[in-house]
Structure 1
């Protein structure tokens, strides 16, 4: 397998999803399934770095399936204690614009 950006595995998948409470269980289940499928394929997950709702479910599912997880989260969310500190790598940004750019920079898809 050839190395992608920065010499890492070329299959780092970025998933954008919600972190709001009150999401129907079927959406949480779907997010978890997406994460597990990313891990089952040997890919890494790049997510928004939150531990709540769908964002947390996709990261947890990925880790349960053996995926490396990279979370990218704005400092304001870390201060609200929403950060997924179980991520293999947690990158903290100052703005949402920086967050999305960093997520894209760490992902291949």
Structure 2
């Protein structure tokens, strides 16, 4: 199940999803349109913000050898403290939405 199908559950948990990618703004907009605009998209073509989060994979694009963003999920509280991080070891294997929701609930409950 796609994450956008879980938007009501995420909202009830007071979770806001922000997607950050090295894509140019036009590509990010296309992706946002595909998800019906449920998430905030941040375009970071230079990778500077992605790098500041420790998520830049130097030469990580298997097709072009360009830098890419590591596939990851982070739970950040309102004080901007990172509470939980989950990295994907293989960019082709993504976490299931139901598993992500379970891990988010666990992460949120840990810091209540």
TM (normalized to structure 1)? 0.28
Larger radius of gyration: 2
Relative contact order, higher structure (CA 8 A, sep 6+): 1
TM (normalized to structure 2)? 0.27
Q: Which has the higher helix share?
A: 1
